[in-house]
Structures are given as C-alpha cells and as structure tokens.
Amino acid sequence: MKKIADELMQAGIEKVWTDEPLANHTTWRIGGPADLLIQPKDKASLQKALQIIHRHEIPWSVIGRGSNLLVRDRGIRGAVLKVAEGLSHCEFKGEEVCVGAGYSMIRLAVETGKMGLTGMEFAGGIPGTVGGAVYMNAGAHGSDLSRILIDAEILFENGESKVLSNEELSFSYRTSLLQKQKGIVLEARFQLRTGDSKEISATLAANKERRRATQPLQMPSCGSVFRNPPNDHAGRLIEAAGLKGYRIGGAQVSEKHSNFIVNCGGATAADVLTLINHVRSTILEKNGIDLHSEVLVVGEG
C-alpha cells in the first residue's frame, strides 16, 4: 500500500495514511486499521483517488465523520475514502441550499436557522455529515432528510457522477438507494422555507437541551443503535426489559438513554456486536419484536 499511497500523494492528494486505526475516525472510538485511508481535499481529488484505486483494483469504501458506524476489530482491507472537510461548501440561493457531502449536519441546521430558513431544525443533533445523512435518510424529531432534499450528486463506482432526484434515491425509513447501489454523495440540494430566525433558534436550543438531559453526549457512542419499531420506541423496550446499564466488556447500554450503547473505555467492536445481539434476543423473547440495528457494520472481525 505504501507505493499506492505515494502515487496518491504525487497526484496532489495530501492526506493519505497507511494502516491507520479507524478508532481515530469514528464517534464510537472503535475500529481496527484501514490498509489505506484517503481524505480528498475536493471533488476533483476524490475522482482522481477513485481512478487510482480502480487502476490498482483495490476494494474501497467510504466514511464521513464516523457516526452511526461500527468498524470491526481487524479493520478494513483496501482503501477507505474519508469525505469530510474537503467537501464542505455551503451555498444559499433563496430558499434553496446546496451543500457539500462533508458538511456537518449540526452546523447546517444552525447556519440555515441564522439565514431565517426553516425545515432543517430536526438535524440539529445529528452528528454526521450531509453525505452520511443522504445515505441513511437521517432523521429525528418526527422529520427526516427525504422531506427537504431536492436532489443529490452521486459519484458512482465507474467514475461517472449523476444528479439523482429525491424520487430516484428511493428513500424510506433510514434507507436509500445508496445502500443497494454503491456510490459516493458529492453534494446535496435542499428546499427550505422562509421562517422566523428567532423561532428557529429557540427550537434548536430546546432540542439541544433535551438531548443534553436525555442522551450520553459526553461518552463515545454512535447515536441511536436501533430503529424504532412501529408505534413504539426501542429505548422504552430496552429499559422495560431491565437492560439499562447492561455491560459486556467495555460496551454498555447507556444508563441515560437505553437506545445508546457507549464505549466505557477499551470497548471492542466484538463487545458492541455481542451486546447488540443480546439486546435483540432479549427483546424478541420478551416482546416478540425483532429490533433492527441502524448501525452500519463494516470491516473484518
């Protein structure tokens, strides 16, 4: 991989690591090494990196800020493209906003509010990037990204980019076309509405205070682990089953919010997966409900 890393840097891609622990790049602070980690500085360097990867026939995957992601303990073979600061532009055109895939969702919620645009308030606590939010149709507070997205530019595996409409992205609860067809989100365009910036700011502040009071924000986690089943909440079911605080190794069901699993220190991906499976089997046995994880699990165990 050293030779390929040198080739990438010679092509003007400055941020390239070999055998980089992905625990340094995930919000859970868990994950083995990537053979090659590449952080492109812009769209052109991302396309160039993908060309080089293809020429060497290396498998590849994509991460953003590493939320909602569990990297297994032996890491990821091949190349990992980190879409972060390099693709973080944000441009307003009336009630529309065009945003790079590496832009923070929390920052976007704040910035749109300052512009007096409403519709993005639900995203004020989503810790990932725009690209990751498009990939999984991220949502909270009764709304989700599919309700405001106009279209998104996607770079596909063959090196071609295409703008896909909201309908073409086939959104449903926490899913999109990109979970079936491999591609990299480059940017997204959102349709918002003119609102009162003071009211928007108050909503964001209230949501932030609610999160602070109810979620373990000071501990490494990935956010919510399980999708809510119809007409119920995963956290309620887990707490009712007596699993709040249940621990395996360094991984624990949060004592503050039962739909969070926190890294108490030294947790491995194996700890987290064992705990997830224990929670699922317990809820299935007690309630007859099969909880589905919304965490993306990648890499080798």
Tens digit of pLDDT for each residue in 91-108?
Answer: 999 999 999 999 999 999
Chain mean position to CA 181: 17
Are 291 and 220 contained in the same domain?
yes
Are 97 and 158 contained in the same domain?
yes
Chain mean position to CA 91: 22
Are 77 and 104 contained in the same domain?
no
pLDDT in tens, 113-155: 999 999 999 999 888 899 999 999 998 888 999 999 999 999 9
Last residue of a domain, one of 174, 199, 224: 199
Domain, as residue range, for 53: 2-85
Are 72 and 118 contained in the same domain?
no
CA–CA separation, 143 and 147 (whole Å)? 7
Q: What percent of the chain has pLDDT above 70? A: 100
CA–CA separation, 103 and 264 (whole Å)? 29
Are 120 and 182 contained in the same domain?
yes
pLDDT in tens, 7-48: 999 999 989 999 999 999 999 999 999 999 999 999 899 999
User: Is 211 within the bounds of a domain?
Assistant: no
> What total of structural domains would you count in the chain?
3
The pLDDT of residue 76 is above 90: yes
Amino acid sitting at position 129: T
- CATH code (residue 242): 3.90.78.10
Q: What is the pLDDT of residue 127?
A: 85
User: Is 209 within the bounds of a domain?
Assistant: no
**CB within 8 A of 277, min separation 6: which ones?**
none
What phi and psi values does residue 49 have, to the nearest 5 degrees?
Answer: -60, -40
User: Is 169 within the bounds of a domain?
Assistant: yes
Q: What is the pLDDT of residue 266?
A: 95
pLDDT band at 160 (very low <50, low <70, confident <90, very high): confident
- CATH code (residue 34): 3.30.43.10
What phi and psi values does residue 292 have, to the nearest 5 degrees?
Answer: -110, 130
CA–CA separation, 283 and 22 (whole Å)? 31
Q: What average pLDDT does the segment 288-297 reach? A: 95
Are 49 and 73 contained in the same domain?
yes
In the predicted model, what is the mean pLDDT of the chain? Answer: 94
**CB within 8 A of 90, min separation 6: which ones?**
97, 98, 99, 100, 103, 108, 111
The DSSP secondary-structure symbol of 72 reads: -
Contact between 106 and 128 under an 8 Å Cβ cutoff? The reply is no
The pLDDT of residue 283 is above 90: yes
User: Is 248 within the bounds of a domain?
Assistant: yes
User: Is 210 within the bounds of a domain?
Assistant: no
Amino acid sitting at position 37: L
Beta pairing, strands 69-71 & 296-298: parallel
Contact between 58 and 34 under an 8 Å Cβ cutoff? The reply is no
Buried-state track 196-233, b at ≥16 Cβ within 10 A, e below 16: eeeebeebbeebbeeeeeebbeebbbbbbbbbbeeeee
- CATH code (residue 159): 3.30.465.10
**CB within 8 A of 202, min separation 6: which ones?**
none
Last residue of a domain, one of 154, 173, 199: 199
Spatial strand order of the sheet with 96-100 comes to: 90-93, 96-100, 183-191, 149-156, 161-165
| DSSP H or E run through 210 | helix 197-214
Bin 299: left if φ > 0, else alpha if -120 < ψ < 50, else beta: left
Last residue of a domain, one of 151, 172, 199: 199
Are 121 and 143 contained in the same domain?
yes
pLDDT in tens, 230-267: 999 999 999 999 999 999 999 999 999 999 999 999 99
Are 149 and 68 contained in the same domain?
no
User: Is 205 within the bounds of a domain?
Assistant: no
Contact between 71 and 22 under an 8 Å Cβ cutoff? The reply is yes
Q: What does each C-alpha distance from 170 to 152, 163, 248, 275 come to in angstroms?
A: 12, 14, 37, 31
Q: What is the pLDDT of residue 162?
A: 96
User: Is 177 within the bounds of a domain?
Assistant: yes
pLDDT band at 85 (very low <50, low <70, confident <90, very high): confident
User: Is 178 within the bounds of a domain?
Assistant: yes
Are 104 and 191 contained in the same domain?
yes
Q: Enumerate the active-site residues.
A: 174, 224, 294
Are 249 and 291 contained in the same domain?
yes
Are 68 and 99 contained in the same domain?
no
Q: What is the pLDDT of residue 173?
A: 87
**CB within 8 A of 43, min separation 6: which ones?**
87, 186
